[in-house]
A and B are shown apart, each in its own frame.
Chain A
Amino acid sequence: MNTLLTLGVIFLSALVLAKVIDKIKLPSVTAYLLLGLLIGYSFFNIIPNELIKATDLISNIALGFIAFSIGRNFSFDTFKRIGKSIMWISILEASGAWLTVTILFFLLLKQPIYISLLFGAISAATAPAATVMVVREYKARGNFTNVLLGVVAIDDAWCLIIFSISLAIAKALNIPGVNPHLIRVIFSSIKEIFGALILGGIVAFIMSVLIKHIRTQTEFLIYTLGFVLLNTGLAILLHFSVLLSNMFLGTVIININRTSDKFFDTLSSIDSPIYLLFFVLAGANFELSALKNIGLLGICYIIFRVSGKALGGFLGGQISQAPENVKKYIGLGLIPQAGVALGCALIAKANFPSVGRFVFNTVVATTIIYEIIGPICTKLALQKAGDIPTFVSKPIEQKNI
Chain B
Amino acid sequence: MKTKDIMTQSVTTITRETTLNKILDIFKNFHTFPIVPVIDENKKLIGVISLKNIVEIFEPTKSTLIKSAPFIDQKEVDLFELEITDEMKHLCIAEDMMESKFVTLNEEMDLKEAYNLMRLHNLEEILVVNKENILVGRVGVFDIVRTVFVTKK
Contacts and interface: CB of A to CB of B under 8 A. Distances in A.
Interface in A196-247: 214-217, 220
Interface in B30-86: 60-61, 63-66, 68-73, 75, 83
**Main SS at interface, chain A:** helix
Contacts of B69: 69-70, 128-129, 132, 152-153, 156
Interface stretch (A98-106, A172-180, A256-264, A300-308): A256-264
A72 B69 CA distance: 9
A66 B70 contact: yes
Interface stretch (A3-11, A138-146, A313-321, A344-352): A138-146
Contacts, number: 97
Interface in B94-118: 99-103, 116
In this complex, which of A81, A132, A149 has the most chain B Cβ atoms within 10 angstroms of its Cβ?
A132
A334 to B, nearest CB: 14
A127 B69 CA distance: 9
A216 B121 CA distance: 8
A129 B122 CA distance: 29
Interface of A: 22, 27-29, 65-66, 69-70, 72-73, 77-78, 81-82, 86, 127-129, 132-133, 135-136, 139-141, 145-146, 149-150, 152-154, 156, 214-217, 220, 254, 258-262, 264, 271, 275, 338-340
Contacts of B66: 128, 132, 149, 153
B73 A156 contact: no
In this complex, which of A66, A149, A338 has the most chain B Cβ atoms within 10 angstroms of its Cβ?
A149
**Main SS at interface, chain B:** loop
A127 B122 CA distance: 32
Interface residues of B, number: 24
In this complex, which of B66, B69, B102 has the most chain A Cβ atoms within 10 angstroms of its Cβ?
B69
Given A275-B71, A339-B70, A259 B103 contact: yes
A262 B121 CA distance: 8
